[in-house]
Amino acid sequence: MAILHRLIGNHDRRQQPQPIFGSEHSADECLSEMVVDFFEGGECGSSSPAGGFFDATEMNVEETDCTAAVGEIRRMVALNDGYVEPYRELLVGDVMEAAASSSNGDVSRRRLVMILRELHHDAAICKTKWGGSHGVAAGDYEFVDVVSGKIRYLIDTNFPAQFEIARPTIQYTKILKSLPLIFIGTAEELKKIVRIMCDAAKRSLNLTNLIVPPWRRNGYMQNKWLGPYRRTVNPISDNFPTSTTKNTTHWQVKCRWIGFDATSSMELNDNASIYVI
C-alpha cells in the first residue's frame, strides 16, 4: 500500500483537468479513487483484475507498424489535404493566433474562449461528467467547443498529453508525436483518433507487460470529449479589473446547459471566487 500511496501522490498532474467555473468535485479525488480501484482490483501483472477494466483478449498482441495509423491521424488534422470548410480554416487560424499571443504558446481554456468570442465565434467551455458503468470509470473533463450552424468543433489545447502512457514503445511514440498540440475537429474525427490511440496504447502497454489502466481505456477516453456535457460561456477575462474601493462589480453571465439558455447576475468583491450561478 505504501507504493500505492506514492503513486497517488506523485501522479502526473498534466493528465488532470484544472477545474474552471466552479467544478462540482475535485479531479484529484476522482483520479485517486481510480488508482485505488485499479490496484485493489488486481495486482500488477494479473491477467484478470476485477471491475471489468481488463480482459484476456488484450494480452499476447504484437506491435505492428504505425505508418497507417500516423497517416490516418495526419489526414484528419491536416488543412492542406483536400477541401477544408472556409469556416474551419478561419477557426483554426484564430485559435493558432490566440495560442501564439500567449507568452509560452500555452493558452488557457478561459482565455481562448474570451478571444474567440471577441472574434464572433460561438465558443464556450464544455465540461463532461459521467458516472462509472459497464467497466468504465467515472470522471470529468473540460475543453473548448465552437458551434457553427449544425457543426460543433471540439478544441483541446493540450491534446497529446491526454494519451501519454508508461514505458511507450517506439511505434507508440511515433503515433503520439503525430498528434497536434491543439486539436480542432468534429466529434466524429475525434472519436476515430481516440480509437486509434487507445488501440495503440493497449498494444504498447501489453508489450511492456503493463495492464491498461482505467483512465486509458477507450470507453473512458471517449467520454472525456463525447460524454454528457455542460456548456458554459463566461466573458470574464484573465485580468480582472481592480479597484481601491470595496464596491462590488456586477457581471452578466450567460449559461447554457445542453442547449437551454439562462441569464443570471454574478457579484465579485475583493475576496470572491469565480462561480457560475
Hey, what's the cell of 85? 470548410
- Can you tell me the distance from the alpha carbon of 35 to that of 29, in angstroms, rounded to the nearest whole number? 10
Q: Are 160 and 185 in contact (CB under 8 A)?
A: no
pTM for the model stands at: 0.63
Range list of β-strands (E), 132-248: 139-148, 151-156, 183-186, 229-233
| E strand or H helix that includes residue 190 | helix 187-207
Query: Residue 33's pLDDT is what?
Result: 52
Query: Residue 82's pLDDT is what?
Result: 63
Query: Residue 231's pLDDT is what?
Result: 95
pLDDT at 204 over 90: yes
CA 4 to chain centre: 25
pLDDT at 96 over 90: yes
Nearest to residue 156, comparing CAs of 97, 95, 241, 207?
95
Query: Residue 76's pLDDT is what?
Result: 82
pLDDT in tens, 41-71: 443 433 333 333 333 334 445 556 788 888 8
